[in-house]
Structure 1
Amino acid sequence: MPLARLPSMSALIAFEAAARHESFTHAARELCLTESAISRQINGLESSLQIQLFVRVKQRVMLTKAGSLYSEQVRDILRTLERNTISIAAHGSGEGSLELAVLPTFATEWLIPRLPGFYEQHPKMKVNMGVKTNPFSFEEEHFEAAIHHGKPIWPRATSDFLFREEMILVARADLIGTSIKKTADVLKFPLLYSTTRPESWKQWFAAAGIPSNSTPVQSFGFELHSMLVRAAQSGLGIALVPGFLVPEQAWRDGLVRAHEISIPADDSYYLVYPNNMRHSAPLEAFREWILEQAQKFGNEKPN
């Protein structure tokens, strides 16, 4: 079966405007065309598709079911095309934006507080952030780079090392008091863990010399580290979290180290981006900046 001839861009733009307003008159006004020109574009589109997109009733037009579905698809395509056009136009300039996928707690506690420094260096650039907690396909998403925690394995992409982290035990001071005198005493309290790192407590037990089959009085799982910290703040138990993700306010509000033993996380943080994005000026600017910030952070002494 031969492929259908693709509609012209002018026909799609006219259809999208007419569908959004459900009015040829308003679409013509928006696009600075005559109403008859809009009508010709729609008639040509319907003829090409061999389907009715509008129902015409006297002086009004209404979308058919097929027209409503098609209008949503066309609108998404035009928005994507607009975004990609703006992005490609910015690649060789000192302006533009970067679509960055982030880990939520990392962004809140580490990245965003440092961003003013980036904007001081690059006032005409911007970083748009969206949350992605698991690896994804750059080909299927609008993101141009990602902050990743894990192994540096990502298909057809470059992974730039940022830093590793130390996992520490935190709890409310009035929950634990002075009751933790030896490592096994942590088992007297509920243990809070990240569901994305289910083996972390076993690793801490190994470092602390506690038998791996030991069980606490209770345990609770949380997907995000921000939830984990908040649970510890609320007195739900002892949390094992990356130390740098504990906000300063939490320490001021009564959170303390529940035990001095810390463990290095198995994995590290990386800036990941498709191999074909290295020509992007916004990405290169952000990459240079965040690698510098990560190196400074890595050289800082822990609290």
Structure 2
Amino acid sequence: MLSGSTLPSIKALRTFVSVAHNLSFSKAAQELCVTQGAVSKQIAALEQQLGQALFERHIDGITLTQMGEQYLPSILEALETVQSATARLKQLEDDEEVVNLDVTPSFASLWLIDALARYQREHEGIRFNIKTGDGPIRGLNTKSDIIIRCLPISAHYENSTLLTGENLLLVGSANLLSAHPITTLDDLTLHRFIPHITRSHLWEQFREQSSPKTPMTFYEVGFEHFFMSLEAVKNNTGLALVPDFMVAPLVAAKQLINPLNLNLSSQYGYYAFTPNHRLSTRRVYEFNHWLQQEFTASTKQ
């Protein structure tokens, strides 16, 4: 490893990056809130330390030398690494106060973000890290404290709690359904249905249950996630099936309409998985318990 005396200072490297981006000593000085002389001094010292010229000086300005062009990308990456590591360290608190969640994208965007705001009002000092994932759980040797997935209903998922069965509401935008109301099942033929590409059988299930004789016209674009289908609904492109707890506020506000109270029980459910070694952790236990209470309460409403 190089000794400290052979390494350029962070100040010199930041100055180099600023000058390289601006191709101007004066603009770099303004950006860094220092004098132009200080910038020139940092660049001269850095070039002397490297034994290479990083800039070519011309009457009408400066340009990077070939060595400077080679040096810049590596320095940008290195400074970003230092910045990220420093930010993580500054934000680091007692691990007992951080809950790491791995949840499906639609669960995160259409329910969890708002729910966490409510939770944190009641539980000060708890922080959350959220990442998204989908599909089956392949073992629970993971950094996540709680993993939430939508899976076929089963009693055989280890380390899991069923939060709620999936009840899908047929929804359309208020604008679309005011222009083309649905008062009978026959009126469904006036609308397009938005495909769900990872679970294409949902519409067939819906038709068999609700309107087996009604022909269906599909929107030309299919979507992988419910939050994407919901955006298409808001753009008045058609009707979609979306979990009730994800759209309940929009239906209550009459921004979305659930015509004829049509719905589908998909035989899927939202499960919370917790690794054995985290089950006894206070923060995980409390949040897991709160999640169950939230969905139990919403089911009773």
- Cα separation, 2, equivalents of 1:9 and 1:269: 51
Q: Aligned in 2, Cα 1:33/1:81: closer, same or farther, shift over 3 Å?
A: same
- Cα separation, 1, equivalents of 2:267 and 2:65: 56
Task: Give yes or no for contact 1:96–1:124 (8 Å, CA) kept in 2.
Answer: yes
1:63 aligns with 2:64: yes
1:298 aligns with 2:298: no
Aligned residue number for residue 136 of structure 1 = none
- Cα separation, 1, equivalents of 2:101 and 2:80: 18
Amino acid at match of 2:182: G
CA displacement, residues 88-142 of structure 1 (integer Å, 9 cap, x when unaligned)? 3543438999998876654443123233334436666766xxxxxxxxxxxxxxx
Task: Give yes or no for contact 2:55–2:65 (8 Å, CA) kept in 1.
Answer: yes
Match of 2:194, SS? strand
Aligned residue number for residue 148 of structure 1 = 133
Match of 2:84, SS? helix
- Cα separation, 2, equivalents of 1:272 and 1:67: 50
Within 5 A, what are the aligned runs for 1:1-303? 10-11=8-9, 13-21=11-19, 22-23=24-25, 26=29, 29=34, 36=41, 38-45=43-50, 47=51, 52-57=53-58, 61-64=62-65, 67-68=68-69, 70-93=71-94, 105-120=106-121, 145-153=130-138, 157=142, 160-162=146-148, 163-164=163-164, 165-171=166-172, 174=178, 175-180=180-185, 189-205=191-207, 210=212, 216-223=216-223, 224-232=225-233, 236-251=237-252, 252-253=254-255, 255-258=257-260, 260-264=262-266, 266=268, 268=270, 290-300=287-297, 301=299
- Cα separation, 2, equivalents of 1:220 and 1:99: 38
Deviation (angstroms), 1:64: 3.2
Q: State TM-score, norm by structure 1.
A: 0.61
CA displacement, residues 139-177 of structure 1 (integer Å, 9 cap, x when unaligned)? xxxxx6413343223796356244453222224655453
Match of 1:194, SS? coil
CA displacement, residues 172-215 of structure 1 (integer Å, 9 cap, x when unaligned)? 6554533217xxx856742222344434323444656959xx96
Match of 1:157, SS? coil
Match of 1:178, SS? coil
- Structure 1 residue ranges without an equivalent (≥5): 128-143
Q: Aligned in 2, Cα 1:111/1:15: closer, same or farther, shift over 3 Å?
A: same
Q: Aligned in 2, Cα 1:60/1:261: closer, same or farther, shift over 3 Å?
A: closer
- Cα separation, 2, equivalents of 1:158 and 1:115: 20
Q: Sequence identity, in percent?
A: 18
Deviation (angstroms), 1:73: 3.9
- Cα separation, 2, equivalents of 1:292 and 1:101: 17
Q: Aligned in 2, Cα 1:192/1:154: closer, same or farther, shift over 3 Å?
A: farther
Task: Give yes or no for contact 2:210–2:262 (8 Å, CA) kept in 1.
Answer: no
CA displacement, residues 12-65 of structure 1 (integer Å, 9 cap, x when unaligned)? 5413322313439947948x97954652333323x4xxx653223479754236
Amino acid at match of 1:299: T
Pairwise CA RMSD:
4.9
Q: Aligned in 2, Cα 1:295/1:104: closer, same or farther, shift over 3 Å?
A: same
- Cα separation, 2, equivalents of 1:219 and 1:168: 18
Deviation (angstroms), 1:246: 1.3
Q: Which moved more, 1:215-224 or 1:92-101?
A: 92-101
Match of 1:241, SS? strand
- Structure 2 residue ranges without an equivalent (≥5): 149-162
Task: Give yes or no for contact 2:171–2:256 (8 Å, CA) kept in 1.
Answer: no
